[in-house]
Amino acid sequence: MDEAARIDIDGNAIAVRHRPGRAPGLMWLGGYRSDMRGTKAEALDAWAEEHGIACTRHDYSGHGESGGAFEQGTISRWLKESLAVFRRFTEGTQVLVGSSMGAWIALRMVQELQKAGEGRRVGGILLIAPAPDFTTDLVEPGLSEAQREALERQGYFEEPSDYSPEPDIYTRALIDDGRQNRVLEGIIDTHCPVHILQGMADPDVPYTHAMRLVEHLPADDVTLSLVRDGDHRLSRPQDVDLMLRVAGSLIQRAR
């Protein structure tokens, strides 16, 4: 079994599951309202165990097994938590695997690690249905008048979720903070191979968003794999198999 732990970050108990093993290791970064017990995260961890590779997962505050209120979450907060987990639990080179919002977190992590002189610790990045800048580029443009009024009046709005009986909640703090964490405004230098997996039947993040991301990664070795009938989750057996094959390839290249 991987080792279960909790670390305190700004008063929130962040749940972490770390499986010791060889480097390069894998670090999973989940999506908005997702947790580290999802299909892809569990499959990645099982693959890491089979191959003796280190694997680290955590739940952001307000998600899964972690403490904290979801409504208080922002990209900056979840980024800070992810960096803390990276520095506390991982050793040597890592391949970051970010799903949906987790892809945004992964890209911001690379930027912050490079500022701190730790950029070489990221040897590869796998982005699954990446949703960088989703608050400004995907959520805000589609807001109705009622949703905009709710943001101003009560600081949040809710909308039905296709993935949970509970509604999705978007706060003004999340949207305002998202503007401070935008990555699709200039060149993103990761200094490592990047592989993007994107479903063309994704109803939440259009595949054109992934293509736009590629344009902001001109200096790196970037591969975009489009799954014609793939949805946002990309959790079907064939999708998971593709994810694991790409992760294995990135591990090999990072050695």
User: Model confidence over 119-164: pLDDT tens digits?
Assistant: 999 999 999 999 999 999 999 999 999 999 999 999 999 988 887 8
Per-residue pLDDT at 220: 79
- Average predicted confidence (pLDDT) for the chain: 96
pLDDT tens per residue, range 40-86: 999 999 999 999 999 999 999 999 999 999 999 999 999 999 999 99
Alpha-carbon distance 148 to 135, whole Å? Answer: 13
Q: Which residues of 11-41 are buried (b: 16+ CB within 10 A; e: fewer)?
A: ebebbbbbbebebbbbbbbbbbbbbbebebb
Per-residue pLDDT at 3: 58
**CB count, 10 Å around CB of 158?**
12
Has this prediction a pTM greater than 0.85? yes
- State mean pLDDT over 214-240: 96
Half-sphere exposure of 86 (CA within 13 A, CB side): 28
Of 246, 248, 253, the closest CA to residue 191 belongs to: 253
Contact between 191 and 163 (Cβ < 8 Å)? no
Per-residue pLDDT at 2: 59
Per-residue pLDDT at 29: 98
Half-sphere exposure of 115 (CA within 13 A, CB side): 8
Q: Domain map of the chain by residue range?
A: 3-132+189-254
CATH architecture classification, 3-132+189-254: 3-Layer(aba) Sandwich (3.40)
